[in-house]
A = this chain, B = another copy of it.
Amino acid sequence: MGSFTDYPCSDARKFLLLWCCLSVLAVASLGSKTRHFKWQVEYLYWSPDGVENVVMGINGRFPGPTISAKVGDTISVHLTNKLQTEGVVIHWHGIRQFGTPWADGTASISQCVINPGENFVYRFEVDKAGTFFYHGHYGMQRSAGLYGSLIVDVAEGKREPFHYDGEFSLLLSDWWHKDVHQQEVDLTSKPFRWIGEPQVMTLTLKKLNDDVQEDEQTIRISAFDSANQRKRAVQLFPSGALWQLVVVNTVHAKGKRAVRAPDSPRAAEQDVQAEGGQHHRIGITQLGDRGQWVVKDMYLFSAILRTLLIIHVSFVLVSQNHSMIVVEADGNYLQPFSTTDMDIYSGETYSVLFTTNQDPSKNYWISASVRGREPKTPQALTILNYSPISASNLPPSLPPVSPRWDDYDHSKSFTNKILSLMGSPKPPSDYHRRISLLNTQNTINGYTRWAINNVSLSLPTSPYLGSIKFGLNNAFDRKNPPDNFSSLYEITNPPVNPNSTYGNGVYMLDFNTTIDVILQNANALKANVSEIHPWHLHGHDFWVLGYGQGKFSAKDEAKFNLKNPPLRNTAVIFPYGWTALRFVANNPGAWAFHCHIEPHLHMGMGVVFAEGVHHVGRIPNEALACGLTGKMLMNNNRN
């Protein structure tokens, strides 16, 4: 691994860390700044669920470091590929990359991959507050573990439209024991081999906004079998191998108290004067063997939980007895609403507020369960622990029962509550072009694929951004992919003719026009199966104008919500349903739009949009050093 440094906050070197962090604070107070990070991507041994496995980590850790920034900051990540034989890229999910489309981190689309031993600097501005994340966007490197959180707070002196006392990031993911290279082979095998369901769901919780920089105080909570949860919880929690969240909640006399971390040279004094004269504080107890945090005293507490869903399955998150107030989605403020459970699809992010206002003599369950697929993965459980009760005291009641995996009415009810906060940007009242995208499962020469309007995306060797900018006509299919599908297509049946074709054409969008996309779901290859697909758009947010059942038709337009549709970058299509989106093609570049379930993208479930590429500035050579752009630049020179 050699020497690796994570600017501004190295995890390894305490002194430098303190110095770094003080520097950050000093500079931050002067306004927006550039935050430099130096990352190395490499494979590591890790035990995400107690079973040792190889994961793709950053700077020796998994998940990767959390980036915390403020609106207006520039993020500069100097990435070195320390893998042995694999290229790598990192996508900054939810960041629109205005003016820096080559930093979107999508292989074959925005840049050439970073080859082993080589570097690339991702430099981009974060222009909106919200919950974001980053992840690999090449092969199935997201599934391999290449991801982390990216949290953008409001600029210095600005305020969020809600209040909270503490802040956590919660990464929800799933984990397969099978090596991702083998998963890739499975998905491209003839006959097809489905990779199966994940072995576990993982919840990775980090405390944020803490001077003490608790990046290392990651809380890893393995899923355990709900049928045996009591027995296994007792086995798991005191083992010292796992970490857990402790929300302390006792009455606290006014004044300063020391929060001491034994085995650590650091002690921080924190004291927050809250509304009504009460004190608020968050404590983390880490039960690992690398040091222990203990908070002695406590408070009524209100926290923001920023949740991000990384991989394949959709989750329902349930917080026992504690209602959650959803206030942000995909970096956009929502009309706050209260819920005790929430659906989260791969690629979505939320902020939720919750308050520790229940009986402080007990602990409570937090659970996550599979949504939209028949669950073969155990419910993930952790404990909301009221101090000073021991964290190993299990809640007296059984874990909350999640809604049935196929209770789509429940899901739709949740989804329909998501509306933009008053004062949010409104969509244009009309569109210039409508693109209807039929999602079907197909076969090509015996291979199982997903296709959009009967074209299964097969990414080209030369990234689109450079190819389009330099007019390299052989880099991809010049034929435009279809804007529509046959009106006769019967979405409730398996395809009559399942054959599809590979393609990699581009939807060329007129710059600054308004685009409507109607995502149309259909039956898969097997009868009576239609899956959930969360579609994610790069480079833009879109307004979600509406969801509906069956085949979209002109009359459905009347139901569009043009008043307060939520701005998102990811939206789900329900089984046999449609979802209508609107966005303005105002970001020069080439942008992926795809199902965020990684195996589905790998099987061709995506399209590519491009707009205003002639407005794109000088693309760094490193992003062009492959395929036809590389050839062009090198040939010109040697002739």
Within the assembled complex, what's the spacing in Å between the Cα atoms of A88 and B460? Answer: 18
Q: What residues of B have a CB within 8 angstroms of the CB of A138 in the complex?
A: 85
Q: How many residues of A contact B (CB 8 A)?
A: 44
Within the assembled complex, what's the spacing in Å between the Cα atoms of A117 and B462? Answer: 9
- Contact call A2/B445, Cβ cutoff below 8 A: yes
B-contacting 9-mer, from A249-257, A269-277, A314-322, A627-635: A627-635
- Does A246 have its Cβ within 8 Å of any Cβ on chain B? no
- Contact call A627/B118, Cβ cutoff below 8 A: yes
With A115-B626, A138-B85 already in contact, the answer to whether A182 and B633 are too (CB < 8 A) is: no
- Contact call B638/A633, Cβ cutoff below 8 A: yes
With A44-B185, A184-B84, A461-B116 already in contact, the answer to whether A634 and B625 are too (CB < 8 A) is: yes
- Does A241 have its Cβ within 8 Å of any Cβ on chain B? no
Select A185's contact among B45, B118, B624, beta carbons within 8 Å.
Answer: B45
- Contact call A118/B621, Cβ cutoff below 8 A: no
- Contact call A84/B139, Cβ cutoff below 8 A: yes
Residues of A205-227 contacting chain B, CB below 8 A: none
- Does A141 have its Cβ within 8 Å of any Cβ on chain B? yes
Chain B: minimal CB distance from A180 (Å): 9
- Contact call B626/A118, Cβ cutoff below 8 A: yes
With A85-B138, A621-B635, A637-B637 already in contact, the answer to whether A460 and B115 are too (CB < 8 A) is: no
Select A115's contact among B87, B182, B189, B445, beta carbons within 8 Å.
Answer: B87
- Does A364 have its Cβ within 8 Å of any Cβ on chain B? no
- Does A1 have its Cβ within 8 Å of any Cβ on chain B? yes
- Contact call B118/A43, Cβ cutoff below 8 A: no
Within the assembled complex, what's the spacing in Å between the Cα atoms of A117 and B460? Answer: 8
- Does A181 have its Cβ within 8 Å of any Cβ on chain B? yes
Q: What residues of B have a CB within 8 angstroms of the CB of A637 in the complex?
A: 633-634, 636-637
- Does A54 have its Cβ within 8 Å of any Cβ on chain B? yes
- Does A412 have its Cβ within 8 Å of any Cβ on chain B? no
Q: What residues of B have a CB within 8 angstroms of the CB of A627 in the complex?
A: 115, 117-118
- Among residues of B, the one whose C-beta sits closest to the C-beta of A444 is B2
Chain B: minimal CB distance from A105 (Å): 14
Within the assembled complex, what's the spacing in Å between the Cα atoms of A140 and B140? Answer: 20
- Does A190 have its Cβ within 8 Å of any Cβ on chain B? yes
Mark each residue of chain A from 498 to 532: 1 if its CB lies under 8 Å from any CB of chain B, else 0: 00000000000000000000000000000000000
Residues of A68-115 contacting chain B, CB below 8 A: 84-88, 113, 115
Select A181's contact among B54, B445, B621, beta carbons within 8 Å.
Answer: B54
- Does A179 have its Cβ within 8 Å of any Cβ on chain B? yes
Within the assembled complex, what's the spacing in Å between the Cα atoms of A190 and B4? Answer: 14
Within the assembled complex, what's the spacing in Å between the Cα atoms of A465 and B115? Answer: 18
Select A638's contact among B54, B116, B621, B630, beta carbons within 8 Å.
Answer: B621
- Contact call B115/A461, Cβ cutoff below 8 A: yes
- Among residues of B, the one whose C-beta sits closest to the C-beta of A635 is B621
- Contact call B461/A118, Cβ cutoff below 8 A: yes
Within the assembled complex, what's the spacing in Å between the Cα atoms of A635 and B620? Answer: 10
Within the assembled complex, what's the spacing in Å between the Cα atoms of A43 and B627? Answer: 22
Within the assembled complex, what's the spacing in Å between the Cα atoms of A1 and B447? Answer: 9
Residues of A124-165 contacting chain B, CB below 8 A: 138-141
With A87-B85, A635-B621, A637-B634 already in contact, the answer to whether A461 and B45 are too (CB < 8 A) is: no
Chain B: minimal CB distance from A138 (Å): 6
21 A-B contact pairs sorted by A residue (CB < 8 Å): A1-B188, A2-B445, A43-B181, A45-B189, A54-B182, A84-B140, A84-B184, A85-B88, A85-B113, A85-B138, A86-B86, A86-B87, A87-B115, A115-B626, A118-B461, A118-B626, A179-B182, A630-B630, A633-B637, A633-B638, A636-B637
Interface of A toward B, CB cutoff 8 Å: 1-2, 43-45, 54, 84-88, 113, 115-118, 138-141, 179, 181-182, 184-185, 188-190, 445, 460-461, 621, 624-627, 630-631, 633-638
A84-B140, A633-B638 given; name 18 further pairs at CB < 8 Å.
A43-B184, A45-B185, A54-B181, A54-B185, A84-B139, A84-B184, A85-B113, A87-B116, A113-B115, A115-B626, A117-B461, A179-B182, A621-B634, A625-B625, A625-B626, A630-B634, A634-B637, A636-B637
